[in-house]
Amino acid sequence: MDNIKKEIGVIMNNVEQAQKELSFIKEIIENSREKLYDSGVHLVLWGVLVSIGQFSNYVTISMRKTEYLGYIWLVIVLLGWGGGFIIDKREKLVLNPNNFANKISSTLWIGGGVSMTIIGFSRLISFGEFYVITPMAINPIISIILGSLYFATGAIYDIKWFSRLAYGWWGIAIVLFSWVSYMSFLVYGFVLIGLMVVPGIILNRNYKRILKERALEEE
């Protein structure tokens, strides 16, 4: 009899644990539905800034006046991170910062952003004629990281077309690895506009539409 009671107790504990886990999963799903789209503002900001940097690369290299190029990129990175911080502060006033999907997405992009920043400035580190990462390899490496971020972000927010843009980034990476020319900076500047700025604008339009729909529902 005691054994039966113990078994019943174990079963009841397992049922309670399963119910707690299901409730947790349900809470995650419901919270994730609160925001179905990324605002896209970060993409527009970084897309514009980095495309300016790429065009600066092309112009300064073609004119053989690269002495100020490092300062240009320093300003670009500071504006990008500073602007991104301001955007995050403003969005937290509108969105739920504890949203599970938002947490995962922001963590991924912060980690990716730090990685890309380190890779970008690695061109300043050299041992004589040998670079830690050659300047021409920076853009394709960053494209690989962006492809991974796009693929994951599209899955998190269930935006299939955004995930598919990852293949574009990976394809560009393959091309750039095999194309060693300063002309690639010019081309990459336009790629950034096409794969960052334009998608960012599309995401922002959908994001604003969702906010309007939510506001109407709350009235």
Q: How much is the pLDDT for 12?
A: 58
Q: How much is the pLDDT for 95?
A: 58
State yes or no: pLDDT of 66 exceeds 90: no
In a domain, 6, yes or no: no
In this structure, which long-range contacts are made by residues 93-98, counting pairs with CB atoms below 8 Å and at least 24 apart in sequence? 94/211, 95/34, 95/35, 96/31, 96/34, 96/35, 98/31
Q: What is the DSSP letter of 195?
A: I
Confidence of residue 101 (pLDDT cuts 50, 70, 90): confident
The mean of the pLDDT values for the chain is 83
162, 203 contact by CB (below 8 A): yes
What one-letter code names the amino acid at 55? F
In a domain, 161, yes or no: yes
State yes or no: pLDDT of 15 exceeds 70: no
In a domain, 3, yes or no: no
In a domain, 10, yes or no: no
Instruction: Name the percent of the chain lying above pLDDT 90.
Output: 47
pLDDT digits (tens, 9 = 90+) for 123-171: 777 666 677 788 889 999 999 999 999 999 998 888 899 999 999 999 9
In a domain, 71, yes or no: yes
Structural domain range at position 79: 40-212
Taking CA 173 as the corner, what is the angle to CA 80 and CA 130, rounded to the nearest 5 degrees? 80
In a domain, 9, yes or no: no
Could you tell me how many residues make up the chain?
219
User: Which residue spans within the chain are E strands per DSSP?
Assistant: 126-127, 130-131
| Biggest CA-to-CA distance, the chain | 91
Rounded-to-integer distance, Cα 184 and Cα 179, Å: 7
- Which of 8-22, 60-74, 205-219 shows the lowest mean pLDDT across its residues? 8-22
In a domain, 2, yes or no: no
Q: How many domains is the chain partitioned into structurally?
A: 1
In this structure, which long-range contacts are made by residues 134-140, counting pairs with CB atoms below 8 Å and at least 24 apart in sequence? 136/176, 136/180, 136/184, 137/177, 139/54, 139/176, 139/184, 139/185, 139/188, 140/172, 140/173, 140/174, 140/176, 140/177
In a domain, 68, yes or no: yes
Helix (H, G, I), strand (E, B) or coil at 126: strand
State yes or no: pLDDT of 219 exceeds 70: no
What one-letter code names the amino acid at 57? N
pLDDT digits (tens, 9 = 90+) for 29-52: 555 555 556 788 999 999 999 999
State yes or no: pLDDT of 94 exceeds 80: no
